[in-house]
C-alpha cells in the first residue's frame, strides 16, 4: 500500500511535469529524408494552374509582346503590362497623369493619333469591370439590370468598330460579353462568321478557347476539343477529360502516364508537363527514407516504372524541346530508386542540356545532392563542399522571400519547410553529408554543417512569428519579431534553438565531441571552418551551455565547470528552463518544498558542477571518516537529483513514462533521451554504491542516523540507531514518516 | 320605453362588433402578418388557405442572409442562402423584403457599412425587380449587441438614406435589445421567440418561455420604448439533440449540444425512451432517414429534447405585451409560414394569437 501511494505520488508529479516541461522542447524535426527538393516548375506556375487551370503569365506575356509590336519596341513590356492588366478604368481615363505619369505606354496612348488604341483599352477595361462585378456574389441578375444595359451599350460600340488594327481584340471583347450573358449561341455565330478567319496569335487563341467552351456548353464535344487544342487550352481539355477517346490506344496502364502522354502528344512543351512531373516526383520523394522503398505499393511501382519509360521516350522525341527537364526527372527518379549510377548519368546529361534558369538551379541542387551521396572526409571533398556551400548560400540569399509580415512560415518551431534552398541544405547536408562525416569520424564538421543547415536561413531572413495573448481582450494573435529579439528579449519559450536538427545532433553527441566543435568555433582551422562559423548560430553562450550540460550528463564535473563558467548569466536567465521557473530547487536537498527554494539561481549549473567537484575531492581525500561519508551522501543526492527532480541540470527536455521494453519507470523515454537514460541508469547505480559506502563509513552513530533521517530511511534508522536523537524524533512523530528509502525510486 | 328602445338599438349595434373580435381581428389599427423564412418560395394549398383564412396582409420575406465567409482574395461579407422563387407572390399581400445579417458579418463590415448598405439595397431591389415585388418597407434582422450596435446602427442609417421617401425601414428587436437605445429605423418588430439558450439541455424551452420573457418586459418597457413596435410570436417547434461527453470521469453525465432537428415526432420512435417532460433518451441507434443520410441519426445514450410553445403559453405572454402596447396600433406577426409547423396549432389558436385587445 505504501508503495502504491509512492508510485501514485511520483506518477502524478511526473505527469504534471511532463506537461509543463514538454513545452521546453525539444520538438522533433522531420527526418531530412522526408524533405522534398525536386523542382521543375515555379510556385507561381503551379498556383496559376491550381487556381484557374490556365497559364496567365504566358498569355499576358504574349499579349504584351503583341502590343509592343503594334506600338513601339521602345516601350518596355512592364509598362504595357501595367496599363493592360493592372490599372483601373478610372486611372486609364487620364493616362498621362497620376499613377501612370512615368509609364511609357500610357504616354504613347495619350497622344492624339493613338486615340483608337486608348478607346479600345477603355472599352476592354469597362467590360472587365462589369464582368468582375457580375462574378461577385453580391450581383443578382435580372433582365434589364444596370450591368446588362451597360454591356449592351458596349456591345454596340464593339460591333461598330470597322478598323483592322484591333478587330481581333474587339471580337474577343464581344465573345467575353456573350459569355457573361451566357449567350453561347452568339459566341458560335461570331466565331463562324468572322473570328475563325482571323490571324493566329494569342488573341485568336483566347477567342478560340472561349468558343471551345461555348461549343461544349452547346453539346458539341468534338468541336470543343478541336478549338481547345488549337488554342493550346490544355486546362479545358483536362477538365473535360478529353483523353477519354485517346486512353484505349495508349501502351501505358497508369492513368497518370496516359495523361502525360496525351498532353505531350499535343503540346510537347506545355508548362503543364512540368507541373505534373513535379507533382509525381515529389510524391515519390515522400516514400523515400534512406533509399528504402518498401512502402511503395505495387501500383505505385508500376506507375513510376511507366513514368521512367515515358520520360525516356520524351527525351528521344524530336518534338521535345524540354529534354533537360525530362533528363532531370529521370536522374532524380533513379536517385530515389537508389540507382546512383543511372542517376549520375542522367544528371550529367541534364547539366549539358538547354534548360530554363529555374531548372538550371534545380539541376545544380541535384548535383549538390549527388556530391553529398559520395561525401567523404577527404580534403578534396571538403574543398568541393566549400564550393557547393558558396553557391548554395548565394541562392539562399537571393531566393528568400520571407519578408512579408504575415508569412506563417516564420513560425518554424516545428521545423517545417520554410524555403526551398533551406530544404536543399537540410536534405543534402543533414540527410547525406552529416551522417557520412560522422561515420568518417569528423563529428565537428557534421555539427558545423548541421548548424549551417538549421540556422543559416534565420540569418538571411531573421524574422520569427510568435503568439501573443491579450488578456484584456481575451484574444490571441500573432506577431512577427526579429530573430534576435526572439532569442534575447521574447518572454515566451525559444522553441527553435532547442528543437532544430543541429540541436538534435549535438544533443545526441558526446560531450567531448561537442567540446571539440565548440573549440573549433573559437579557433577555426580552415576556410571551411570560418565560412561555416560565420553562417551558423555560433553564439558561444548557447554552445558552451550545451557542452557543459553534456558534461554534467556524463558526470564529468571538472569539464562541466570549465565550460559552464563561460556562460553568461544573461543567457542563463533567458533559457526556457529559467523562464519556466526551474533553477529554484536546491540540487543537494533530499526532500523538496517551497521553503527550500534557493534565493539565487544564477550560475545554477556551474555552482552544482563546482560543488560536485569539491565533494568528489572530499570523498577521495578527506581523512575524517564522518566528513568523507557525509560528502558521499551529499554527492549521491546531487547526482540522483541531476537525473531526477533537477533533470534540467543534464537535459533540455523532459518526459516520463514506462519503458516499453523493460517495464521500468523512466523519467525520460522519448527519442532524444536514449543516451540520457543510459547515463541516468549508471548514475543511479553509482548513487546506491555511494550511499552504502557512506553508511558503512560513519563512525559517529548520531551523524549516521542524521544521514538516514535526511534520506528518509526511517525503518533502517530506528532499527540500526535506536538510541540516537534522530531515532527519537522519528518515533515521536511516526504517523508522519514512511520509510521511503533510496532503494525505492 | 324610449329609454329601453335606445338601449336595445345600442345592443343590436354592438353585438356584431363584439362577435367579430374573434373572427376578424385585424381592423383595430393593426394587421395580421407572417414571416416566410425558407430558402425556396413556394406555397402549399394549406399555406395559401392560411393566408386567406387569417386575412394576412403582410409577409416578411427573407430574401438572403449576409454572412462572413473567410476568403483570402475575395470579399469576406457576402450574401448567402438567397431565396429561390418557385411560386408567384399571392396578390393583395404586401411583401416586406427581409435581410438577415449575422453578427460575424456585422463585425467585419465595421467602418464600411455605407458600402454594404448600398450592396444590400441594390441586391434587394434586383430580386424584387426580377419577381415584380413592389415594396414599401424593408427589414433588417440582426442580433446586435453592445459590440455590434454601432456598426448596425450606422448600417441602418445608410440604408435609410438609400431608400426613397415612400419606403420605410424596420428592424427586428430582440428582447435583450429592449434595454438599449433603439436602432435608427421607422419601426421595430419585437421578436418574442428564441428566448432561451438552446445549447443547454437544462433550458426548459429555448423557443419560448414565460419565465425567460417576463424579466425583459418589466417596468412597462414596451410602452416606454422609443420606437413603434409590432410583435412576432412563434408558431414552430423543433427537437434539440445532445450527445454525451463521457471522455473522463469528471465528464460523467454531461451532455453537449449536437444539432437542431426539424422533426418533433420523437415519441413515435420506440428506441427513444421518455425520461422527462419533453426529454427522450436513445436506448439504441435511431436512423431517422433510414440510411439515406449518415448524419440524420442518433446513437445510444443521445438525448433529444422537443420544444414547441403551446398557444396557451403564447397567449399568456401576449396578454402581458398587449397590456403594455394598449392604445398603440401594432401588427401581430407569426413566425413562420410553414404548413407542417402550423398544423400543430388550430385555426382558433392562431386567431387568438392574431387578436388585438
- Domains in chain B, start-ordered, CATH in brackets? 29-235+308-354 (3.20.20.80), 240-306 (no CATH)
Of A138, A141, A143, the CB nearest to B119: A138
B79 interaction partners in chain A (CB closer than 8 Å): 137-138
Rounded CA gap, A608 and A614, in Å? Answer: 10
Which residues touch A366 (CB under 8 Å, ≥6 apart)? A328, A331, A332, A335, A347, A350
Task: Flag if B78 and A141 touch (Cβ within 8 Å).
Answer: no
- Separation in Å, CA of A209 to nearest CA in chain B: 25
Number of A/B CB contacts below 8 angstroms equals 28
HSE value, Cβ hemisphere, 13 Å, CA-based, for A332: 30
Whether omega before A202 lies within 30 degrees of 0, making that bond cis, reads no
With a threshold of 0.95, tell me whether the complex ipTM lies above it.
Answer: no
pLDDT at B20: 35
Nearest to A454 by CA among A43, A35, A143: A35
A144 interaction partners in chain B (CB closer than 8 Å): 129
Look at domain A252-374 and name its CATH class: mainly alpha
Q: Are A39 and A358 in contact (CB under 8 A)?
A: yes
All three cell numbers of B152, joined, read 448596425
All three cell numbers of A165, joined, read 488594327
Using a CB–CB cutoff of 8 Å, tell me whether A473 touches chain B. no
Task: Flag if B79 and A136 touch (Cβ within 8 Å).
Answer: no
Tracing cell 571539440 back to the chain, one arrives at A516
pLDDT at B4: 53
Rounded CA gap, B103 and B294, in Å? Answer: 31
Tracing cell 424584387 back to the chain, one arrives at B128
Buried b (16+ CB within 10 A) or exposed e, A118-145: bebbbbbbbbeebbeeeeebbbbeeeeb
Task: Flag if B122 and A143 touch (Cβ within 8 Å).
Answer: no
Q: Are A269 and A318 in contact (CB under 8 A)?
A: no
Q: Are A559 and A511 in contact (CB under 8 A)?
A: yes
A475 interaction partners in chain B (CB closer than 8 Å): none
- Separation in Å, CA of A101 to nearest CA in chain B: 29
Tracing cell 429561390 back to the chain, one arrives at B84
* Series of mean pLDDT values for 10-residue runs along chain A (745 residues): 33 32 45 84 86 81 94 94 94 86 93 94 95 92 91 95 94 93 92 88 93 95 93 89 76 92 91 94 72 68 96 96 97 95 97 95 97 95 97 85 46 62 92 95 97 91 76 70 88 84 90 97 96 96 97 97 96 87 83 71 94 96 91 93 88 61 49 68 90 89 86 80 86 54 34
Rounded CA gap, A328 and A340, in Å? Answer: 13
Of B78, B82, B130, the CB nearest to A142: B130
Determine which of A314-323, A348-357, B20-29, B244-253 has the lowest per-residue pLDDT on average.
B20-29
Phi, psi at residue A567, to the nearest 5°? -85, 125
Rounded CA gap, A213 and A243, in Å? Answer: 17
Expressed in percent and rounded to 5, the helix, strand and coil fractions of chain B are: 35, 25, 40
Rounded CA gap, A214 and A188, in Å? Answer: 7
Nearest to A427 by CA among A38, A26, A14, A13: A38
Predicted model pTM: 0.69
Mean pLDDT of the residues in chain A: 85
CA A560 and chain centroid, separation: 34
- Separation in Å, CA of A182 to nearest CA in chain B: 17
All three cell numbers of A43, joined, read 510556385
The interface residues of chain B toward chain A in range 70-109, judged by CB-CB distance below 8 A, are 74-75, 78-79, 82
Using a CB–CB cutoff of 8 Å, tell me whether A475 touches chain B. no
User: Which residue in B has a C-alpha nearest to residue A143's C-alpha?
Assistant: B130
The interface residues of chain A toward chain B in range 118-157, judged by CB-CB distance below 8 A, are 136-145
Rounded CA gap, A206 and A540, in Å? Answer: 61
Task: Flag if A138 and B78 touch (Cβ within 8 Å).
Answer: yes
> In chain A, what are the domain boundaries?
1-30+543-699, 252-374, 381-538
Q: Helix crossing, A557-564 with A604-621: angle to 10°? A: 150
Angle at A515 between CA A513 and CA A517, to 5 degrees: 75
pLDDT at A298: 86
DSSP E strands, A12-131: none
Burial class (CB in 10 A: 0-12, 13-18, 19+), B80: middle
- Separation in Å, CA of B80 to nearest CA in chain A: 8
**Backbone dihedral region for residue A672 (phi beyond 0: left; psi -120 to 50: alpha; all else: beta):** alpha
Burial class (CB in 10 A: 0-12, 13-18, 19+), A364: middle
Tracing cell 534553438 back to the chain, one arrives at A497
- Separation in Å, CA of A277 to nearest CA in chain B: 28
Tracing cell 544521514 back to the chain, one arrives at A707
Nearest to A504 by CA among A556, A560, A561, A435: A435
Interface test with B, best of A48, A136, A137, A147 (most B CBs within 10 A): A137
Interface test with A, best of B64, B81, B126, B128 (most A CBs within 10 A): B126
Using a CB–CB cutoff of 8 Å, tell me whether B123 touches chain A. yes
A138 interaction partners in chain B (CB closer than 8 Å): 75, 78-79, 119, 122-123
Task: Flag if B130 and A140 touch (Cβ within 8 Å).
Answer: yes
B75 interaction partners in chain A (CB closer than 8 Å): 136-138
pLDDT digits (tens, 9 = 90+) for B310-328: 999 999 999 999 999 988 9
User: Which residue in B has a C-alpha nearest to residue A139's C-alpha?
Assistant: B123
Q: Are B94 and B167 in contact (CB under 8 A)?
A: no
Task: Flag if B78 and A137 touch (Cβ within 8 Å).
Answer: yes
User: Which residue in B has a C-alpha nearest to residue A146's C-alpha?
Assistant: B126
Which residues touch A417 (CB under 8 Å, ≥6 apart)? A35, A36, A409, A423
User: Which residue in A has a C-alpha nearest to residue B118's C-alpha?
Assistant: A138
Amino acid at each position: 500500500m505504501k508503495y502504491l501511494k509512492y508510485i501514485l505520488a511520483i506518477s502524478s508529479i511526473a505527469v504534471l511535469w511532463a506537461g509543463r516541461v514538454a513545452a521546453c522542447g525539444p520538438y522533433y524535426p522531420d527526418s531530412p529524408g522526408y524533405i522534398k527538393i525536386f523542382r521543375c516548375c515555379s510556385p507561381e506556375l503551379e498556383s496559376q494552374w491550381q487556381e484557374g487551370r490556365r497559364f496567365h503569365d504566358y498569355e499576358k506575356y504574349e499579349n504584351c509582346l503583341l502590343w509592343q509590336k503594334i506600338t513601339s519596341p521602345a516601350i518596355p513590356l512592364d509598362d504595357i503590362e501595367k496599363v493592360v492588366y493592372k490599372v483601373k478604368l478610372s486611372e486609364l481615363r487620364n493616362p498621362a497623369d497620376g499613377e501612370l505619369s512615368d509609364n511609357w505606354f500610357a504616354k504613347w496612348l495619350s497622344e492624339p493619333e493613338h486615340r483608337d488604341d486608348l478607346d479600345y483599352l477603355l472599352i476592354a477595361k469597362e467590360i472587365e469591370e462589369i464582368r468582375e462585378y457580375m462574378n461577385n456574389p453580391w450581383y443578382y441578375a435580372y433582365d434589364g439590370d444596370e450591368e446588362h444595359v451597360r454591356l449592351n451599350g458596349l456591345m454596340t460600340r464593339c460591333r461598330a468598330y470597322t478598323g483592322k488594327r484591333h478587330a481581333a481584340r474587339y471580337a474577343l471583347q464581344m465573345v467575353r460579353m456573350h459569355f457573361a450573358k451566357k449567350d453561347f449561341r452568339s459566341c458560335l455565330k461570331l466565331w463562324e462568321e468572322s473570328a475563325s478567319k482571323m490571324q493566329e496569335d494569342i488573341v485568336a487563341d483566347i477567342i478560340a478557347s472561349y468558343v471551345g467552351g461555348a461549343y461544349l456548353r452547346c453539346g458539341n464535344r468534338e468541336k470543343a476539343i478541336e478549338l481547345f487544342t488549337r488554342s493550346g487550352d490544355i486546362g479545358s481539355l483536362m477538365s473535360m477529360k478529353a483523353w477519354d477517346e485517346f486512353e484505349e490506344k495508349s501502351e501505358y496502364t497508369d492513368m497518370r502516364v496516359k495523361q502525360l502522354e496525351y498532353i505531350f502528344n499535343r503540346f510537347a512543351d506545355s508548362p503543364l508537363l512540368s507541373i505534373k512531373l513535379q507533382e509525381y516526383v515529389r510524391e515519390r520523394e515522400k516514400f523515400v527514407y534512406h533509399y528504402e522503398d518498401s512502402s511503395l505499393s505495387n501500383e505505385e511501382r508500376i506507375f513510376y516504372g511507366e513514368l521512367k519509360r515515358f520520360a525516356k521516350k520524351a527525351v528521344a522525341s524530336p518534338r521535345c524541346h524540354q529534354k533537360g527537364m525530362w533528363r532531370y526527372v529521370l536522374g532524380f527518379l533513379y536517385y530515389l530508386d537508389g540507382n546512383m549510377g543511372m542517376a549520375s548519368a542522367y544528371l550529367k546529361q541534364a547539366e549539358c542540356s538547354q534548360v530554363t534558369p529555374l531548372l538550371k538551379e534545380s539541376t545544380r541542387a541535384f548535383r549538390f545532392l549527388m556530391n553529398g551521396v559520395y561525401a567523404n572526409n577527404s580534403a578534396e571533398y571538403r574543398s568541393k563542399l566549400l564550393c557547393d556551400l558558396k553557391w548554395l548560400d548565394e541562392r539562399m540569399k537571393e531566393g528568400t522571400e520571407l519578408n512579408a509580415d504575415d508569412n506563417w512560415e516564420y513560425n518554424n518551431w516545428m521545423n517545417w519547410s520554410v524555403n526551398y534552398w533551406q530544404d536543399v541544405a537540410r536534405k543534402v547536408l543533414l540527410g547525406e553529408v552529416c551522417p557520412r562525416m560522422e561515420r568518417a569520424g569528423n563529428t565537428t564538421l557534421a555539427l558545423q554543417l548541421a548548424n549551417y543547415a538549421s540556422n543559416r536561413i534565420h540569418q538571411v531572413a531573421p524574422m520569427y512569428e510568435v503568439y501573443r495573448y491579450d488578456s484584456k481582450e481575451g484574444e490571441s494573435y500573432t506577431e512577427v519579431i526579429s530573430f534576435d529579439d526572439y532569442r534575447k528579449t521574447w518572454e515566451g519559450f525559444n522553441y527553435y534553438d532547442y528543437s532544430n536538427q543541429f540541436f538534435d545532433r549535438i544533443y545526441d553527441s558526446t560531450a567531448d565531441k561537442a567540446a571539440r566543435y565548440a573549440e573549433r568555433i573559437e579557433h577555426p582551422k580552415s576556410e571551411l571552418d570560418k565560412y561555416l562559423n560565420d553562417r551558423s548560430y555560433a553564439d558561444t553562450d548557447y554552445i558552451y551551455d550545451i557542452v557543459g550540460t553534456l558534461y554534467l550528463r556524463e558526470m564529468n564535473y571538472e569539464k562541466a565547470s570549465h565550460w559552464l563558467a563561460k556562460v553568461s548569466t544573461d543567457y542563463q536567465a533567458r533559457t526556457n528552463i529559467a523562464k519556466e521557473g526551474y533553477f529554484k530547487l536546491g540540487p543537494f536537498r533530499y526532500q523538496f518544498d517551497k521553503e527550500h527554494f534557493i534565493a539565487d539561481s544564477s550560475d545554477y549549473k556551474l555552482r552544482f558542477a563546482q560543488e560536485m567537484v569539491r565533494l568528489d575531492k572530499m570523498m577521495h581525500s578527506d581523512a575524517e571518516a564522518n566528513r568523507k561519508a557525509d560528502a558521499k551522501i551529499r554527492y549521491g543526492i546531487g547526482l540522483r537529483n541531476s537525473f531526477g527532480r533537477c533533470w534540467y541540470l543534464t537535459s533540455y527536455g523532459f518526459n516520463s513514462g514506462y519503458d516499453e521494453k523493460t517495464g521500468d519507470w523512466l523519467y525520460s523515454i522519448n527519442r532524444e533521451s536514449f543516451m540520457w537514460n543510459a547515463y541516468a541508469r549508471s548514475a543511479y547505480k553509482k548513487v546506491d554504491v555511494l550511499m552504502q559506502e557512506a553508511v558503512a563509513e560513519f563512525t559517529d552513530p548520531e551523524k549516521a542516523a542524521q544521514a538516514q533521517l535526511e534520506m528518509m530511511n526511517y525503518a533502517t534508522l530506528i532499527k540500526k540507531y535506536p538510541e540516537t536523537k534522530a531515532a527519537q524524533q522519528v518515533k515521536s512523530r511516526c504517523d508522519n514518516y514512511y520509510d521511503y528509502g533510496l532503494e525505492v525510486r | 320605453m324610449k329609454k329601453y328602445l335606445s338601449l336595445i338599438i345600442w345592443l343590436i349595434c354592438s353585438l356584431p362588433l363584439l362577435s367579430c373580435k374573434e373572427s376578424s381581428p385585424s381592423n383595430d389599427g393593426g394587421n395580421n402578418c407572417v414571416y416566410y423564412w425558407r430558402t425556396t418560395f413556394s406555397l402549399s394549398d394549406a399555406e395559401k388557405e392560411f393566408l386567406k383564412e387569417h386575412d394576412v396582409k403582410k409577409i416578411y420575406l427573407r430574401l438572403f442572409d449576409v454572412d462572413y465567409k473567410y476568403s483570402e482574395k475575395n470579399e469576406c461579407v457576402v450574401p448567402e442562402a438567397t431565396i429561390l422563387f418557385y411560386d408567384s407572390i399571392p396578390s393583395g399581400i404586401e411583401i416586406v423584403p427581409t435581410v438577415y445579417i449575422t453578427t460575424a458579418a456585422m463585425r467585419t463590415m465595421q467602418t464600411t457599412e455605407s458600402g454594404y448598405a448600398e450592396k444590400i439595397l441594390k441586391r434587394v431591389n434586383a430580386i424584387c425587380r426580377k419577381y415584380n415585388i413592389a415594396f414599401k418597407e424593408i427589414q433588417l434582422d440582426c442580433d446586435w449587441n453592445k459590440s455590434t450596435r454601432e456598426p448596425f446602427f450606422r448600417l441602418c442609417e445608410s440604408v435609410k438614406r438609400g431608400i426613397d421617401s415612400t419606403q420605410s425601414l424596420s428592424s427586428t428587436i430582440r428582447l435583450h435589445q429592449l434595454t438599449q437605445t433603439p436602432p435608427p429605423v421607422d419601426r421595430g418588430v419585437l421578436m418574442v421567440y428564441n428566448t432561451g439558450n438552446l445549447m443547454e439541455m437544462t433550458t426548459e424551452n429555448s423557443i419560448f418561455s414565460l419565465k425567460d420573457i417576463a424579466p425583459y418586459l418589466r417596468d412597462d418597457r414596451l410602452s416606454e420604448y422609443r420606437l413603434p413596435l409590432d410583435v412576432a410570436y412563434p408558431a414552430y417547434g423543433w427537437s434539440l439533440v445532445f450527445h454525451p461527453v463521457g471522455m473522463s470521469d469528471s465528464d460523467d453525465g454531461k451532455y453537449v449540444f449536437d444539432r437542431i432537428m426539424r422533426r418533433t415526432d420523437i415519441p413515435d420512435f420506440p428506441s427513444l425512451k421518455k425520461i422527462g417532460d419533453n426529454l427522450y433518451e436513445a436506448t439504441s441507434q435511431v436512423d431517422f432517414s433510414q440510411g439515406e443520410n449518415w448524419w440524420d441519426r442518433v446513437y445510444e445514450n443521445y438525448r433529444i429534447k422537443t420544444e414547441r410553445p403551446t398557444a396557451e403559453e403564447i397567449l399568456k405572454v401576449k396578454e402581458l405585451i398587449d397590456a403594455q402596447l394598449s392604445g398603440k396600433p401594432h401588427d401581430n406577426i407569426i413566425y413562420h409560414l410553414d404548413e407542417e409547423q402550423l398544423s400543430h396549432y388550430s385555426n382558433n389558436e392562431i386567431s387568438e394569437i392574431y387578436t388585438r385587445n
